[in-house]
């Protein structure tokens, strides 16, 4: 009798499940909305005038339990300024093969330069493409912003930036020319080579 009841009981479970509502999500055709505070891909933020918030302090890299963040800081100059402070993040990389999306880097950032978005589709075909660089992480320019490097907003100081007092568009701010160390900025008209101008060298 017991040998007969066991298969029947098993089929009973099967029949109950057949009439339940399916929980399958039709991804990627139908994408489920994420929670507002979902931990997705990171982004590097800018001040309202376009200067970068990252000051190259490397606290995010120190806080990362997976050793997924690499930062190289460099000094700002009056001729080439990327952030309001003394330093900026010259190199910034996040390795999403290691990142566990815990958000400890965001908590460690003193300037709110690093935040997390709701973007969760991070799969790719190569390992190299999952190491995001500063250019990929830096948020795009909004209306009124000027791409860095450029001077501090007129009449403001470094502390004004961190207090959130720079709220207007960067009217009158001009982008500076980025120059590699040891090179001199090219003057107008000197960028073309002699062979490009048809002159014998």
Q: Where are the alpha helices (DSSP H) in 79-137?
A: 104-108, 134-137
Instruction: Please name the helix (run of DSSP H) or strand (run of DSSP E) that holds residue 72, with its range, or none.
Output: strand 69-75
As a whole number, mean pLDDT of residues 156-168 equals 84
Is there a domain that residue 179 lies in? no
What's 79's domain CATH number? 3.30.70.3270
Question: Two tokens at 180?
Answer: 């590699």
pTM of the full predicted structure? 0.74
Is there a domain that residue 140 lies in? yes
Is there a domain that residue 76 lies in? yes
Q: Which residue has the higher pLDDT, 86 or 10?
A: 86
Closest CA to 61 of 116, 112, 99, 118: 99
CA 133 to chain centre: 8
Residue 193 is predicted with a pLDDT of 44
Supply the mean pLDDT for the chain. 84
Is there a domain that residue 187 lies in? no
Total number of residues shown for the chain = 201
Residues 6+ apart with CB under 8 A from 110: 55, 57, 59
Is there a domain that residue 33 lies in? no
161 close to 47: Cβ distance less than 8 angstroms: yes
Q: Give residue 122's domain range.
A: 40-162
Is there a domain that residue 118 lies in? yes
Residue 187 is predicted with a pLDDT of 53
Model confidence pLDDT, tens digit, residues 172-201? 577 777 766 666 655 544 444 444 444 443
Model confidence pLDDT, tens digit, residues 100-148? 999 999 999 999 999 999 999 999 999 999 999 999 999 999 888 889 8
139 close to 44: Cβ distance less than 8 angstroms: yes
Residue 154 is predicted with a pLDDT of 83
Model confidence pLDDT, tens digit, residues 67-84? 999 999 999 998 999 999
Is there a domain that residue 12 lies in? no
Q: Look at residue 185 and give its three-state secondary structure.
A: coil
Backbone angles phi, psi at 69, to 5 degrees: -110, 135
Q: Could you give the CA distance from residue 32 to residue 59 in angstroms, rounded to a whole number?
A: 33
Residue 108 is predicted with a pLDDT of 97
Is there a domain that residue 11 lies in? no
Work out how many domains the chain is built from and give that number. Answer: 1
CA 11 to chain centre: 52
């Amino acid at each position: 009798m017991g040998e007969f009841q066991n298969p029947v009981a098993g089929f009973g479970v099967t029949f109950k499940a057949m009439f339940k509502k399916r929980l399958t999500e039709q991804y990627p055709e139908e994408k489920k909305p994420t929670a507002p505070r979902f931990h997705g891909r990171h982004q590097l933020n800018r001040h309202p005038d376009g200067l970068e918030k990252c000051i190259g302090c490397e606290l995010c890299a120190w806080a990362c339990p997976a050793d997924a963040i690499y930062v190289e800081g460099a000094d700002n100059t009056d001729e080439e300024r990327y952030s309001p402070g003394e330093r900026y993040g010259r190199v910034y990389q996040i390795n999403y093969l290691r990142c566990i999306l815990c958000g400890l880097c965001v908590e460690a950032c003193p300037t709110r330069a690093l935040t997390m978005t709701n973007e969760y589709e991070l799969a790719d075909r190569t390992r190299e493409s999952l190491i995001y660089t500063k250019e990929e992480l830096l948020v795009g320019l909004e209306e009124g912003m000027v791409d860095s490097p450029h001077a501090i907003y007129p009449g403001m100081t470094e502390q004004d930036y961190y207090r959130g007092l720079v709220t207007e568009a960067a009217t009158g701010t001009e982008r500076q020319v980025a120059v590699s160390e040891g090179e001199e900025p090219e003057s107008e008209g000197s960028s073309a080579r002699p062979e490009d101008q048809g002159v014998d060298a």
